Amino acid sequence: MMYSCPYCGRIHPYEQDCGKRRKYRGQKDTPENRFRHSRAWTQKSIEVRARDKYICAYCLEHDKVINTRMIEAHHIVPIEEDYSMRFDNSNIISLCREHHEQAEKGDINREILREIAAKHEQSLSDG
pLDDT for 66-83, tens place per residue? 999 999 999 999 999 999
Instruction: Tell me how far apart the alpha carbons of residues 98 and 106 are, in angstroms, rounded to a whole number.
Output: 13
The count of other CB atoms within 10 Å of the CB of residue 64 is: 7
Residues 95-116: pLDDT tens digits? 999 999 999 999 999 999 999 9
Digit-coded pLDDT (tens) for 13-63 = 877 777 766 555 566 778 888 898 899 999 999 999 999 999 999 999 999
pTM over 0.85: no
Q: What is the distance between the alpha carbons of residues 94 and 63, in angstroms, rounded to a whole number?
A: 15
pLDDT of residue 27: 65
Backbone φ, ψ for residue 4 (5° rounding): -85, 115
pLDDT at 124: 64
Task: Tell me what pLDDT residue 23 has.
Answer: 57
